Structures are given as structure tokens and as C-alpha cells.
């Protein structure tokens, strides 16, 4: 029994000693009577010294410790009483204690358990700090958010303001530029001294340059604002591109360059995409090529890369034999307002916006653009775009029609409120030999339409009383007329164009009005029944470009001051003189009659420049003349004779048509 008791007590003792919390017993006087190892560890004092010592002195606040002791003995227990042990670390503890009694119930002393709460305290402290920090952070974040929102608002406002400013400016600049360029063109047609002509030409060129710049800036602004939208309309790729290349013919001839077209005939005829933007891209690249090339050729290649059920991927390439770009400058040429070197802008002019726009236009359509170049050898810009295939037909034939279709008298109604523009349109249409009528707004136009019939309407969009959209709607829906309507607009945003189409307009012309475009669009719409000669477009990659008109009557018109009688006289002389010359050339060549061949070709030479036939042919003629003069048999002569014959026969044909056209217009005018 005694042994059992001892064993039990030893077991209890070992449990007590094993506890990590300090356990201390104190007697009623507050003296330490026993303790476990943990207590010794924490207090850092030996068992012997602790036993019998005053319990309270081991705490930083003895008074408080005394209160614990008093409470234990008064209440019989104490729980969760915080104290700090006066050891090296000032360990924070929580006290739990209860009294213990003998069999008779007398209080012998108290057992006190001190729980080390250092860790707990630390965590608590960290938690509080974290909380404070978190609160602070939240506050900061909210502040930042408020600031960001403010900034965004300001930025959005700024972008909007910029947009608005650009749009307004462009409109405000374009309207007067329209009048300046238009009237300069008109004055240029009158009789002038050489000096006056020179000055006016300078005005016109500067005006054109300014318009290009404004359009470029507007385009870039649109791309930057993500406002550039792309149309999805069906168009004929081949004819669309070749029509656009027409624009460069004069320039290319002037610089004595060659334009080579390489068109992949595997490309489906009709594709879906944005022909206007495609034009813009190629236009920019080709005009760069022309600008930076003084000798050699410009090649426009269109190649089918890939074709599947729905789409085709096409590579377009514009190569030149111009000044080229150094590798160092290659990366920056696509940036805004950059040219390969500042010297080039001085030499060649330009804003340096063209390639930036090209890049934006290509990339925002999901394409990619590449450049290869060698200084003084040439450059090649190529881009790849995908187009959807379609089985549908092209809705609107917007190819530039050849201008030599017989014209009946065309009656045009111009709806335009600004007097200057009215006068300008009047002058242009009179020049074309069209009959015209002017209405100052949509309302007046509708009144006129009820009494008179016209062939085509040119409709300004912004007008008082009734604007162009309202007027068109009325004409289409109430008057039920399907007369062609061409919108005249200063701001060519895609939104406007969509609106034009939506109300039933057939086409649009951007101001300032380009004479050629105006003419071909009017003719195109009036003569819609005449199919465009598509088959010829595939005859590409030839210097002669036989499908292009070989004659150019500008020179003759200048010479004769556009007098129909004189023009007709000159043309009929050519028609009278040339066929016998062709015959003489052929027969003399066949008979090896070098003298006659020499004389015949000699006589032909001046006629090329008079009728505006490409100077290449004049050169061919001069070559034949030289060979014939030297009585040299040359294997190339035969080919050259055929070339001359062909161009002269074609010229005769075209001049005959031209003659009849002038005659008809002239007579009807009378």
C-alpha cells in the first residue's frame, strides 16, 4: 500500500516535471514550497534558492503578484491572470492557480501554473500591426484609386478634346482649301503668262500637299483612338488595284520610270475586304516608290500565298530601284513623322506619316508588313493580308471607267449651299460639257426634281433646311427615284460613308473634288449598263500597257486652249496623215528601202509628243531612223516596226473616238 502510494506519487511527480508550463506551489505565507523543472528553467534560479523564497519577488510587478496570491487564497482559484516574470527575457505569463487542502479541509497552500504566452503575445502584436498596416494600405489604395479615376477622366477628356479638335480643324481647313485648290485649277485653265502659271501651280501643289497632310493626320488620329473601322464589302481586286495605279501614270511617265505589274491570276476575282484602305496602303507605298526613285522601274506585285475554303492570303509587294534605306534606319521608318534621314525630307518632301499609316492600316487588319532595302539599289515593301472569299457579285462597280465612252449630254443637279463651292462645281461641270443645275439645299433640290429630270445628283451632306441625308431619303422613299446620287463630303469618316449608303446614295466624292474622279464617277454611274472591260486587266507585266489609253490629249488641249475646232482639226490631220505613213513604213521595211523607211519614221516622230503618246515610242522611232539611216540590218527593227504600227493603229482608233466625242459634245452645246 505504501509502495503503491509512492509509485503513484512518483508518477504524478514525473508528469508535473514534464510539463513545459512552470508549476509552483506556495504556502499561505506566499513562500515557494515546490516547483517543477520548467519553473527553474524560466526563472533561471536553482531549486534550492527558489524553495522557501518569496514568490512575489520574481515578477516585475510584485504588488500584482501579491494580488494573485491573495485572490487564490480568498476565492480558492484564479484564472488567466497576466504577469511578467522578472527573468532575462521578461517572459509574459498567464497565471492559473487553485488552493489545495488537507483531509480536514485546511488550506495548505496553492498550486500556480504560469503559462508562457510570449509567442501568443508576439502573434497578437503582429496581428495588430498587420491590421493597422492593412487599414493603412486600404486607405492608400482607395486614395490611389480615386486619383487614378480622376486621371482617367482627365485623360479621356483630353483624348476626346484632341479628337474633336482634329476633326474640327480638318473640317475647317479643308473647306477653305477646297475653294483655294478648286479655283486655282480653274484659273490655271485660263490664259496666263508663264510666271503666273508657275505661281499658280505652286499654290495648287502646296494646297494638295496640305490636304494630304491633313488627311494623314486625321487617319492616324483615328487609328490611335481605335476608331479606324474596316469595311467588309465585295470588290474586284484586280481591277480595283489597276484603276488605282492609273493615278500614277502621269507621274511615272514624267519621271521616265517603268511601272511593272505582276498580278497572280490565281487570285479569285471577287473578294471581301476594305478596298478603300487597301488602296490607301498601296497608294502610300507606290507614291513613296515614285518619290524616291529617279531611274529604273517600280514593280507592283500581287501574289496568292494561301487559299482555303473561306479565305485567301495575299502578298502585296511594291519594289523600286530608288535610293534605298540603310539598315540602321529600317526600324524607325514606320514611326510617325519619320523619314529615313532628315536629308530626304529636304530633298523629297513629305510628312513622314505615310509609312506610319500603312503600318497601322495593315496591322489593324491583322496583317504584317516587311521591308527589304539596300541603299542606292532599291527597296521592297511587302505586306500580307487575308480576304474572305465570296460567291456574291460586286455590288457597286467603282472602277474608274475609261473616259472615252460616247457621251450623251449629261444633266447634273448640284445640291450645295456654299456659293463658292457652287461656282466651283459649275466651272468643273461646264468644262466637262455637262448641263448643270444648282440647288442651294435639299428642299430646293426636291422641288426641282419634281419638275425636271436629271441624270445624276451631286449632293453635299451638310446643308441648312434639309441636309443631304434627309434629301436622299426623301428622293428614294417618297419620290421613288433611283437616279444616281453622289455624296460630296469633306470629312470622309467611315461612319459618314455607312450613312451615305444606308440612305441610298450610290457613291461619294471627297472634297476637294478631284476633276478626274468627279468625271469618272459621273460617267461610271450614268453609264452603269456598260460593262467594264475586265479581260484587259490581266494583260499585265508589259511596258506598253496597251490597255491604258496610248494617247493623252493634255498637250493638245494646252496647245489649242481646249478649242474643240482646233482639236478636231489636229486630230483629223493625224488621222489623215498617219495611216499612209504606217503603210509606207511597213512596205519600205519589207522592201529594204532604207531611205524611205528613214524618211517615213522621221516624219512620224513629231506626232508622238503632239498626241501625248508615250515617249518610249518616240525613242523606238528614233532608233529605227538611226538604223535605217546607217542602212544597218538589225534583227530588232522588225519588232520595233510592229510596235510602232500597233501604237499608231491604236492611237488612230482612240483619236477617232475622241474626235467623235468632241464633235458630239461640241454640236450639242451649240
Could you tell me which stretch among 305-313, 332-340, 517-525, 604-612 binds another protein (CB under 8 A)? 604-612
599 scored as a contact of another protein (CB under 8 A)? yes
The answer to whether the beta carbons of residues 246 and 211 sit under 8 Å apart is no
Q: Which is nearer to another protein, 48 or 576 (CB)?
A: 576
605 scored as a contact of another protein (CB under 8 A)? yes
# binding residues, another protein (CB under 8 A): 25
Q: Which is nearer to another protein, 221 or 599 (CB)?
A: 599
The answer to whether the beta carbons of residues 216 and 354 sit under 8 Å apart is yes
Q: Which is nearer to another protein, 606 or 636 (CB)?
A: 606
Smallest separation, CB 529 to another protein (Å): 36
Q: Is the dihedral of CA 204, 209, 215, 221 positive or negative?
A: negative
405 scored as a contact of another protein (CB under 8 A)? no
Q: Which is nearer to another protein, 120 or 587 (CB)?
A: 587
Q: Which is nearer to another protein, 280 or 607 (CB)?
A: 607
Residues contacting 239, CB < 8 A, separation 6+: 399, 532, 534, 537
Q: Binding residue for another protein (CB under 8 A) from 52, 366, 533, 606?
A: 606
Q: Which is nearer to another protein, 318 or 551 (CB)?
A: 551
Residue 532: count of CB within 10 angstroms of its CB? 20
SS3 85: strand
Smallest separation, CB 612 to another protein (Å): 11
C-alpha cell at 600: 517615213
Q: Which is nearer to another protein, 200 or 611 (CB)?
A: 611
Could you tell me which stretch among 217-225, 422-430, 458-466, 602-610 binds another protein (CB under 8 A)? 602-610
Task: Decide the pairing of beta strands 297-307 and 258-263.
Answer: parallel
Task: Decide the pairing of beta strands 378-389 and 485-489.
Answer: unpaired
554 scored as a contact of another protein (CB under 8 A)? no
Residues contacting 177, CB < 8 A, separation 6+: 207, 210, 211, 214, 512
Smallest separation, CB 580 to another protein (Å): 8
Could you tell me which stretch among 121-129, 308-316, 444-452, 573-581 binds another protein (CB under 8 A)? 573-581
SS3 76: coil
Smallest separation, CB 337 to another protein (Å): 39
192 scored as a contact of another protein (CB under 8 A)? no
Smallest separation, CB 574 to another protein (Å): 5
Q: Binding residue for another protein (CB under 8 A) from 33, 215, 229, 560?
A: 560
557 scored as a contact of another protein (CB under 8 A)? no
Q: How big, in percent rounded to 5, are the helix, strand and coil portions of the chain?
A: 55, 20, 25
Residues contacting 65, CB < 8 A, separation 6+: 55, 56, 58, 59, 83
Q: Binding residue for another protein (CB under 8 A) from 153, 609, 631, 638?
A: 609
Could you tell me which stretch among 93-101, 318-326, 451-459, 554-562 binds another protein (CB under 8 A)? 554-562
CA distance 658 to 407: 11
- Which of 111, 114, 115 lies closest to 26 in space, CA to CA? 111
Could you tell me which stretch among 112-120, 196-204, 391-399, 571-579 binds another protein (CB under 8 A)? 571-579
The strand pairing partners of 156, in sequence order, are: none
Smallest separation, CB 555 to another protein (Å): 8
CA distance 247 to 267: 23
Smallest separation, CB 594 to another protein (Å): 12
Smallest separation, CB 253 to another protein (Å): 14
Residues contacting 434, CB < 8 A, separation 6+: 409, 410, 411, 412, 522
Q: Which is nearer to another protein, 51 or 563 (CB)?
A: 563
547 scored as a contact of another protein (CB under 8 A)? no
Q: Which is nearer to another protein, 57 or 561 (CB)?
A: 561
Could you tell me which stretch among 18-26, 122-130, 320-328, 607-615 binds another protein (CB under 8 A)? 607-615
254 scored as a contact of another protein (CB under 8 A)? no
569 scored as a contact of another protein (CB under 8 A)? yes
Q: Binding residue for another protein (CB under 8 A) from 389, 602, 623, 661?
A: 602
Contacts with another protein in 611-640 (CB under 8 A)? 625
Q: Which is nearer to another protein, 449 or 599 (CB)?
A: 599
CA distance 431 to 515: 10
Residues contacting 316, CB < 8 A, separation 6+: 281, 282, 300, 301, 302, 303, 382, 383, 384, 385
Smallest separation, CB 606 to another protein (Å): 4
CA distance 127 to 119: 12
CA distance 48 to 326: 95
Q: Binding residue for another protein (CB under 8 A) from 197, 528, 603, 666?
A: 603
Residues contacting 130, CB < 8 A, separation 6+: none
C-alpha cell at 226: 481605335
Q: Binding residue for another protein (CB under 8 A) from 6, 89, 162, 561?
A: 561
CA distances, 374 to each of 185, 329, 350, 353, 378 (Å) = 40, 11, 21, 22, 6
Residue 56: count of CB within 10 angstroms of its CB? 19
Residue 396 has phi, psi (to 5 degrees) of -110, 130
CA distance 397 to 392: 13
Residue 619: count of CB within 10 angstroms of its CB? 13
646 scored as a contact of another protein (CB under 8 A)? no
Cell 503503491: give the residue: 4
577 scored as a contact of another protein (CB under 8 A)? yes
| Residues binding another protein (CB under 8 A) | 555, 559-561, 566, 569-570, 573-574, 576-577, 581, 584, 596, 598-600, 602-603, 605-607, 609-610, 625
Amino acid at each position: 500500500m505504501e509502495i503503491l502510494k509512492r509509485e503513484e506519487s512518483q508518477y504524478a511527480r514525473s508528469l508535473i516535471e514534464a510539463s513545459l508550463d512552470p508549476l509552483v506551489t506556495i504556502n499561505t505565507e506566499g513562500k515557494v514550497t515546490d516547483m517543477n523543472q520548467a519553473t527553474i528553467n524560466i526563472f533561471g534560479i536553482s531549486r534550492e534558492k527558489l524553495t522557501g523564497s518569496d514568490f512575489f519577488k520574481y515578477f516585475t510587478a510584485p504588488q500584482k503578484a501579491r494580488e494573485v496570491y491573495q485572490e487564490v487564497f480568498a476565492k480558492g482559484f484564479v484564472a488567466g491572470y497576466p504577469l511578467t516574470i522578472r527573468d532575462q527575457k521578461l517572459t509574459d505569463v498567464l497565471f492559473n492557480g487553485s488552493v489545495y487542502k488537507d483531509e480536514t479541509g485546511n488550506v495548505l497552500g496553492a498550486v500556480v501554473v504560469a503559462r508562457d504566452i510570449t509567442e501568443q503575445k508576439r502573434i497578437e502584436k503582429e496581428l495588430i500591426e498587420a491590421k493597422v498596416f492593412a487599414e493603412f494600405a486600404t486607405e492608400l489604395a482607395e486614395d490611389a484609386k480615386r486619383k487614378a479615376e480622376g486621371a482617367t477622366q482627365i485623360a479621356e477628356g483630353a483624348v476626346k478634346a484632341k479628337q474633336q479638335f482634329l476633326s474640327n480643324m480638318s473640317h475647317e481647313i479643308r473647306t477653305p482649301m477646297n475653294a483655294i485648290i478648286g479655283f486655282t485649277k480653274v484659273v490655271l485653265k485660263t490664259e496666263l503668262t508663264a510666271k503666273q502659271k508657275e505661281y499658280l501651280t505652286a499654290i495648287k501643289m502646296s494646297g494638295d500637299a496640305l490636304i494630304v497632310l491633313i488627311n494623314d493626320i486625321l487617319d492616324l488620329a483615328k487609328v490611335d483612338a481605335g476608331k479606324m473601322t474596316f469595311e467588309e464589302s465585295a470588290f474586284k481586286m484586280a481591277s480595283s488595284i489597276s484603276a488605282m495605279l492609273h493615278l500614277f501614270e502621269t507621274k511615272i511617265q514624267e519621271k521616265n520610270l517603268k511601272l511593272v505589274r505582276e498580278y497572280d491570276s490565281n487570285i479569285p476575282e471577287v473578294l471581301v475586304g476594305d478596298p478603300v484602305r487597301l488602296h490607301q496602303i498601296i497608294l502610300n507605298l507606290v507614291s513613296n516608290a515614285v518619290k524616291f526613285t529617279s531611274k529604273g522601274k517600280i514593280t507592283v506585285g500581287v501574289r496568292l500565298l494561301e487559299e482555303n475554303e473561306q479565305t485567301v492570303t495575299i502578298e502585296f509587294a511594291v519594289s523600286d530601284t530608288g535610293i534605298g534605306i540603310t539598315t540602321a534606319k529600317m526600324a524607325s521608318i514606320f514611326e510617325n513623322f519619320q523619314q529615313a534621314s532628315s536629308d530626304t525630307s529636304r530633298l523629297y518632301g513629305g510628312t513622314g506619316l505615310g509609312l506610319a499609316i500603312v503600318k497601322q492600316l495593315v496591322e489593324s487588319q491583322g496583317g504584317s508588313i516587311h521591308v527589304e532595302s539596300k541603299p542606292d539599289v532599291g527597296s521592297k515593301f511587302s505586306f500580307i493580308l487575308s480576304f474572305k472569299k465570296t460567291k456574291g457579285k460586286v455590288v457597286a462597280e467603282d472602277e474608274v471607267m475609261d473616259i472615252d465612252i460616247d457621251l450623251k449630254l449629261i444633266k447634273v443637279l448640284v445640291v450645295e449651299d456654299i456659293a463658292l463651292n457652287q461656282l466651283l462645281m459649275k466651272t468643273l461641270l461646264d468644262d466637262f460639257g455637262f448641263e448643270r443645275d444648282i440647288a442651294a439645299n435639299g428642299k430646293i433640290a426636291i422641288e426641282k426634281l419634281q419638275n425636271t429630270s436629271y441624270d445624276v445628283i451631286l449632293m453635299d451632306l451638310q446643308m441648312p433646311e434639309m441636309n443631304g441625308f434627309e434629301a436622299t431619303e426623301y428622293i428614294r422613299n417618297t419620290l421613288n427615284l433611283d437616279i444616281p446620287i453622289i455624296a460630296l463630303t469633306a470629312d470622309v469618316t467611315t461612319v459618314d460613308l455607312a450613312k451615305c449608303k444606308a440612305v441610298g446614295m450610290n457613291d461619294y466624292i471627297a472634297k476637294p473634288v478631284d476633276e478626274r474622279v468627279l468625271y469618272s464617277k459621273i460617267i461610271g454611274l450614268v453609264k452603269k449598263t456598260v460593262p467594264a472591260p475586265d479581260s484587259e486587266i490581266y494583260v499585265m507585266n508589259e511596258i506598253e500597257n496597251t490597255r491604258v489609253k496610248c494617247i493623252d490629249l493634255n498637250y493638245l488641249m494646252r496647245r489649242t486652249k481646249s478649242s474643240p475646232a482646233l482639236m478636231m482639226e489636229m486630230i483629223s490631220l493625224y488621222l489623215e496623215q498617219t495611216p499612209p505613213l504606217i503603210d509606207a513604213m511597213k512596205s519600205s521595211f519589207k522592201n529594204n528601202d532604207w531611205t524611205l523607211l528613214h524618211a517615213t519614221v522621221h516624219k512620224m516622230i513629231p506626232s508622238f509628243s503632239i498626241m501625248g503618246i508615250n515617249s518610249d515610242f518616240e525613242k523606238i522611232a528614233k532608233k529605227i531612223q538611226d538604223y535605217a539611216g546607217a542602212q544597218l540590218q538589225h534583227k530588232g527593227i522588225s519588232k520595233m516596226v510592229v510596235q510602232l504600227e500597233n501604237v499608231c493603229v491604236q492611237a488612230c482608233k482612240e483619236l477617232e473616238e475622241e474626235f467623235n466625242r468632241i464633235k458630239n459634245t461640241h454640236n450639242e452645246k451649240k
